[in-house]
Amino acid sequence: MRHSNSRFLLLALAALFFFSNPSFAQDAADSPSVEENTTPVDEAGLEGDVSAGKDLFNSLCAACHKPYKRAIGPALHGVTEKRGKEWLYSWIKNSSAMIEAGDPQAVAIYEEYNKVAMNAFPQLSNSDIDNILAYVEQPKPEPKVAVATEGAAAAGQGGGAGVSTQVVLGILAFVLLLLLVVLFLVNKTLTRFAEANGVVIEKDEKTSKPIWKAFVENQFLVIVTTVVLLLVGSYYVYGFFMQVGVDQGYAPVQPIHYSHKIHAGDNGIDCKYCHSSARVSKQSGIPSLNVCMNCHKSIAEVAPETATEDYSKEFYDGEIAKLYDAVGWDPSTQSYTGEEKPVKWVRIHNLPDLAYFNHSQHVTVAGIECQKCHGPVEEMEIMRQHAPLTMGWCIECHRDTKVNMQGNEYYEKIHEELSKKYGVETLTAAQMGALECGKCHY
Amino acid sequence: MRSLFKLASICGLSLIAASCAGEKDRNYQYFPDMYEPVGYEAYGEYDIFVNGQEAKLPAEGSVPRGWMPYEYENNLDGFDAAKAELKNPLPYTEENVNEGAALYTIYCAICHGDKGDGKGTLVNREKILGVPSYDDMGRAITEGSTYHVVYYGLNSMGSYAAQTDEKERWQIVHYVMDLKNELEGKPKRDFMTPDEIAHWEKAGIAGDNANNKAQESADQNLSKEENN
């Protein structure tokens, strides 16, 4: 009996571990793709290796085709029903030859898709093409609703630690409050009992002086208190004056929720990909929307795993839709409508007009990382001002930064003279004159 | 007791005042006379402009200094012509290739991969698919076709004309050709010596672009002076 009991417990424990394992949800998320690969292809009447087809499709076709959605080229699902196999072989291997030869079907599709020529793929064999066709002819996978909810549940579990501390604190506060109320009530009842029983509660009659009078009469205490008060007060007053006009931490709500974390962090896109003018001009430009469309022409929705606890996939997809709306892109026809609505981004970093700052000078000439001033942007879901952008902050960096003069003829002579003057091997920006007033204020 | 309360309230109030700069709003400024620019700032909003927008497209027909028109049109014929006849006007030097490599890493490698094999970060993460390798036989890229595609974009790839200038694009082309060579297992090209460059420029291959480069370097000197 005892033995079976422990076995049962063990089983229960195992089950518990199995279900509480976060990777379980991930397995579930992965499983549809496994199913995709194993689904019999016979349904479409095609023989071909689906997984090999997927690889080929992703590397060669996916730039212009999607299986179930129109992209630059038509959606490919169902293509084997529309066209004969031989026709497809020759079309894929060299479509432009067919158009020139005047094949009516070929010419029609060329006209329909804005005369965009499909690349020739002479390297594909007939069996390669069979594999690709087998892949695109798979039935469309059902929307992954179940998976999404499981993912959300897993996310909930993952965030449990953060929530639980708050809950515990809340409960503690509640218990404290309850105790206070109980104490007050007990006190009240006891007093009432005492009154009812005719017991006179002795009031603590003060015979001595009140405490504040004693305090005032003690000169030493008064002086010490005044000094402390003045010190604390001036500390706060100083802090108050020093933050006037400083926008550190400023994180306004932007018209489109653009996540630097997803773009620069997760996907590792270089800062200068979008802010290209930081290399060559005073301004680090806000990228115009055509730069967004370099990628978002083909990324109309985020992957399910991009969604976080705070921001759902629907939310992110909505933000991409805002971009399409602003730039005038119609995803259904894959073309620009010409109706543009400029996005009113809110400027975050703004130096006062009295100070001059040039991005290219710092980014290209000095080779400073963007993060040095802008902080860990690649971790920011919402962009905020990291540095105070005060003069003291600029000067501190100019004093510390060693100028890299290696292999730069421009600096050769000045380095020789200055290093002799200061008696140092490496020069800081300040020694090069980066503290001169006129460098930034003119 | 009361003085303690007063002290606490003063501290509290000043703390609130000090933390007034909320995350969603800008902090207030004291005498902002020299903070606000007199001229129009980049991206500023001013009533005088259409739409209130300072950021504008250049006036029609205007060109930046040193800019040269690109003669091939954005269609299939233009692409074929550029692919067949357009050559890189920049000499093949170490400096140009290194600059090209740096720019390639910023703008191209994210999709095309550091080796040009079409396996960049975005492709590996399955965000963007179907990026070909530079040694793709069907495409058989050339200097001209590479430049043409960077300039206008092709299919899913967008135009990079706004993010790079003419010289930078040709530097990228040099590096892309290097990557293609490497993928095809061909030996590395030798860098041009100064003599070769002089001879090559004289031969007129560089043509107008040589003048253009002189103009550009003059511009750069000018801007350097301005900066100083």
Q: How far apart are CA A314 and CA A191, in angstroms?
A: 61
The contacts of residue B37 (CB under 8 Å, 6+ apart) are: A353, B44
Q: Say how far residue B152 (Cα) sits from the centre of its chain.
A: 14
pLDDT confidence of residue B22: 59
- Residue A428, SS3 per DSSP: strand
pLDDT confidence of residue A162: 57
Residue B33 DSSP class: G
Least confident of A5-14, B9-18, B137-146: A5-14
Contact B164 A61 (CB under 8 A): no
Contact A267 B118 (CB under 8 A): no
Checking if the pLDDT of A75 tops 50, the result is: yes
Tens digits of residue pLDDT in A368-392:
899 999 999 999 999 999 999 999 9
Q: Which of B35, B43, B132 sits opposite A347 (nearest CB)?
A: B43
Report the amino acid identity of residue A146.
A
Q: Which of A233, A247, A267 sits opposite B121 (nearest CB)?
A: A267
pLDDT confidence of residue A302: 85
Nearest chain B residue to A232, by CA: B11
pLDDT confidence of residue A85: 78
Contact A252 B76 (CB under 8 A): no
Q: Across all residues in chain B, what is the average pLDDT?
A: 78
| Better pLDDT: A162 or B36 | B36
Q: How far apart are the first and last CA of chain A?
A: 91
Checking if the pLDDT of A319 tops 60, the result is: yes
Tens digits of residue pLDDT in A175-203:
999 999 999 999 999 988 888 888 776 66
Mutate to test the interface with B, among A244, A280, A335 (most CBs of B within 10 A): A244
- Residue B156, SS3 per DSSP: coil
Contact yes or no for A388/A394 (Cβ under 8 A): no
Contact B157 A294 (CB under 8 A): yes
Contact B127 A267 (CB under 8 A): yes
Q: Which of A114, A302, A324 is nearest to B125 (CA)?
A: A302
Q: Across all residues in chain A, what is the average pLDDT?
A: 79
Contact A270 B23 (CB under 8 A): no
Q: How far apart are the first and last CA of chain B?
A: 63
Q: How far apart are CA B45 and CA A344, in angstroms?
A: 10
Nearest chain A CA: its distance from B205 CA (Å): 28
**pLDDT confidence tier of residue A153, bands split at 50, 70 and 90:** very low
Tens digits of residue pLDDT in B171-214:
999 999 888 888 888 888 888 788 777 777 776 654 444 444 44
The contacts of residue B6 (CB under 8 Å, 6+ apart) are: none
Q: Which of B2, B27, B137 sits opposite A247 (nearest CB)?
A: B27
The contacts of residue A162 (CB under 8 Å, 6+ apart) are: none
pLDDT confidence of residue B11: 57
Residues of chain B with Cβ-Cβ distance to A354 below 8 Å are 34-35
Contact yes or no for B78/B148 (Cβ under 8 A): yes
Contact B76 A117 (CB under 8 A): yes
Residues of chain B with Cβ-Cβ distance to A120 below 8 Å are 138
Least confident of B9-13, B26-30, B84-88, B123-127: B9-13
Residue A328 DSSP class: T
Nearest chain B residue to A245, by CA: B29
Checking if the pLDDT of A313 tops 60, the result is: yes
pLDDT confidence of residue A28: 39
Give the max Cα distance, chain A.
Answer: 118
CATH class of residue range B76-186: mainly alpha
Contact A240 B18 (CB under 8 A): yes
The contacts of residue A73 (CB under 8 Å, 6+ apart) are: A64, A65, A113, A116, A118
Tens digits of residue pLDDT in A98-123:
887 778 888 887 777 777 778 777 77
Contact A58 B129 (CB under 8 A): yes
Cβ neighbourhood burial of B41 (10 Å; 0-12, 13-18, 19+): middle
Contact B164 A299 (CB under 8 A): no
Tens digits of residue pLDDT in A218-241:
889 999 999 999 999 999 999 998
pLDDT confidence of residue A2: 47
Checking if the pLDDT of A1 tops 50, the result is: no
Nearest chain B CA: its distance from A424 CA (Å): 24
pLDDT confidence of residue A205: 59
Tens digits of residue pLDDT in B139-166:
888 888 899 999 998 888 888 988 888 8
ipTM of the complex: 0.78
Nearest chain A CA: its distance from B209 CA (Å): 21
Nearest chain A CA: its distance from B105 CA (Å): 8
Nearest chain A residue to B77, by CA: A117
The residues spanned by each domain of chain B are 76-186
Q: Which of A303, A229, A214, A347 is nearest to A30 (CA)?
A: A303
Q: Which of A20, A123, A117 is nearest to A64 (CA)?
A: A117
Nearest chain B CA: its distance from A236 CA (Å): 6
Contact B132 A59 (CB under 8 A): yes
Checking if the pLDDT of B96 tops 60, the result is: yes
Residues making up chain A, counted from first to last: 442
The contacts of residue A401 (CB under 8 Å, 6+ apart) are: A366, A368, A428, A429
Q: How far apart are CA A365 and CA A404, in angstroms?
A: 9
Residues of chain A with Cβ-Cβ distance to B25 below 8 Å are 250, 252
Contact B28 A244 (CB under 8 A): yes
Checking if the pLDDT of B123 tops 70, the result is: yes
Pairing of strands A329-330, A335-336: antiparallel
Tens digits of residue pLDDT in A395-436:
999 998 888 777 777 777 878 888 888 887 788 888 888 888
Q: How far apart are CA A102 and CA B220, in angstroms?
A: 53
Nearest chain B CA: its distance from A76 CA (Å): 14
Checking if the pLDDT of A249 tops 90, the result is: no
Nearest chain A CA: its distance from B48 CA (Å): 17
Provide DSSP, A337-359.
Answer: -S------PPP-----TTS---H
Q: How many CB pairs under 8 A join A and B?
A: 166
Q: Say how far residue A36 (Cα) sits from the centre of its chain.
A: 30
Residues of chain B with Cβ-Cβ distance to A122 below 8 Å are 137-138
Nearest chain B residue to A352, by CA: B35
Nearest chain B CA: its distance from A198 CA (Å): 34
pLDDT confidence of residue B211: 45
Mutate to test the interface with B, among A298, A339, A378 (most CBs of B within 10 A): A298
